[in-house]
């Protein structure tokens, strides 16, 4: 016991007052006074308590004595020698005789300043996190052994919950779709921290795409995982629709009995094989070039005017081939979405 900042004492209670019968040597290092100075009355302990804690100390000790049950106090105390404020945790065990008269107290007091200051620093950091995370556009989730211990409001909002309280205590895998669980497990087990896209399920069961990343950090001896998510459902679905439309174009153009050319203000973006065969150019020769180069000069004005008008009616122009021969071709144009553009 001598190597710890723990004070053990026995206090005798008489009608004339209280006296310390036994107290461990640590009293001087922890509190800054001796057994003799306390018993002699030269040292008034009450003067060392923080003024704001006096009422609490009085009420709690009164409760211990009236209920005849042990209790623990946590209070601020000014060290008698250094004047430094410390935090004391004191447990009191009241003792009664056969007549139920309060005759003594056994007590254990310890300096818990370091613990209280660490808890206070953690509380302040958690408050700062709450303030920052609740204005973040990203959803933030904290889990311990897979169980939700905290989150910000945005995380709850993305998943369709009314409040953070609804998701507290849930296993993080409850939010992840079956098809994405193995992906998440792989990223966690490998320690990878880069963004990746997974499917999560909202409160009503609706699946949505989110972009997520996560990492571990330690709080004391606890291992906490922080995960961040962004709602990218609309973006991913548009990209999938675009890819599907491009794949459909490719399949349709390859099966088409007409030559097809896609251009943006004249710049060739795509052509099908039939058009290449018709004009005698390879796809590589046409891509990036001017679509009007395959139209004879005398017909270009007609084609340009039709484009400016946005006409979808068919018209005829003279098409010039790579070998400089020409033929009359029928053209019909319309605007289409292609790689995110019209």
Residues 282/283/288/293 CA torsion (nearest 10 deg): 50
Which pLDDT does position 84 carry in this prediction? 93
Pairing state of beta strands 222-231 and 71-78?
unpaired
Read off the pLDDT of each residue in 128-150 and give the average, rounded to a whole number. Answer: 75
DSSP 8-state assignment for residue 126: H
Helix%, strand%, coil% for the chain, nearest 5: 40, 35, 30
| 96-109 pLDDT per residue, tens | 988 889 999 998 99
Q: Are 6 and 110 spatial neighbours (Cβ–Cβ below 8 Å)?
A: yes
* Residue among 59, 108, 63 at smallest CA distance from 88: 108
How many C-beta atoms lie closer than 10 Å to residue 192's C-beta? 13
Question: Would the pLDDT of 340 be above 70?
Answer: no
Read off the pLDDT of each residue in 20-25 and give the average, rounded to a whole number. Answer: 86
What burial letters (b/e) apply to 302-320, b meaning 16+ CB within 10 Å? ebeebbeeeeeeeeebbbb
Read off the pLDDT of each residue in 212-227 and give the average, rounded to a whole number. Answer: 82
Read off the pLDDT of each residue in 311-340 and give the average, rounded to a whole number. Answer: 84
Residues 6+ apart with CB under 8 A from 175: 159, 167, 200, 201
* Alpha-carbon gap, residue 316 to 224, rounded angstroms: 70
* Alpha-carbon gap, residue 271 to 340, rounded angstroms: 18
| 53-72 pLDDT per residue, tens | 999 999 999 999 999 999 99
Q: Are 295 and 303 spatial neighbours (Cβ–Cβ below 8 Å)?
A: yes
68: left (phi over 0), alpha (psi -120 to 50) or beta: left
| 73-99 pLDDT per residue, tens | 999 999 988 999 999 999 999 999 888
Which pLDDT does position 332 carry in this prediction? 84
Residues 164/170/176/181 CA torsion (nearest 10 deg): 150
């Amino acid at each position: 016991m001598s190597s710890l900042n723990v004070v053990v004492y026995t206090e005798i209670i008489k009608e004339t007052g209280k006296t310390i019968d036994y107290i461990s040597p640590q009293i001087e290092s922890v509190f800054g006074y001796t057994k003799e100075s306390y018993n002699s009355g030269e040292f008034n302990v009450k003067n060392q308590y923080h003024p704001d804690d006096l009422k609490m100390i009085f009420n709690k000790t009164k409760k211990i004595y009236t209920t005849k049950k042990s209790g623990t106090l946590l209070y601020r105390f000014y060290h008698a020698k250094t004047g430094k404020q410390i935090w004391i945790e004191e447990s009191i065990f009241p003792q009664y005789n056969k007549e139920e008269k309060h005759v003594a107290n056994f007590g254990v007091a310890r300096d818990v300043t370091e613990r209280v200051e660490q808890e206070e620093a953690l509380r302040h950091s958690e408050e700062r996190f709450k303030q920052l995370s609740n204005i973040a556009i990203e959803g933030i989730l904290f889990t311990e052994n897979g169980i939700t211990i905290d989150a910000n409001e945005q995380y709850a909002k993305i998943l369709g919950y009314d409040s953070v309280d609804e998701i507290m205590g849930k296993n993080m895998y409850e939010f992840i779709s079956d098809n994405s669980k193995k992906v998440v497990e792989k990223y966690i087990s490998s320690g990878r921290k880069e963004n990746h896209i997974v499917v999560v399920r909202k409160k009503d069961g609706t699946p949505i795409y989110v972009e997520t990343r996560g990492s571990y950090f330690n709080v004391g001896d606890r291992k906490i995982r922080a995960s961040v998510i962004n709602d990218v459902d609309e973006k991913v679905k548009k990209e999938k629709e675009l890819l599907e439309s491009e794949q459909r174009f490719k399949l349709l153009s390859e099966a088409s009995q007409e030559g097809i050319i896609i251009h943006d203000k004249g710049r060739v973006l795509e052509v099908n094989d039939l058009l290449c065969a018709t004009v005698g150019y390879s796809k590589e020769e046409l891509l990036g070039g001017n679509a009007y180069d395959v139209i004879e000069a005398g017909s270009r004005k007609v084609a340009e005017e039709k484009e400016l008008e946005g006409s979808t009616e068919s018209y005829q122009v003279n098409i010039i081939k790579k070998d400089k021969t020409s033929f009359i071709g029928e053209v019909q144009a319309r605007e289409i979405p292609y790689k995110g553009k019209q």
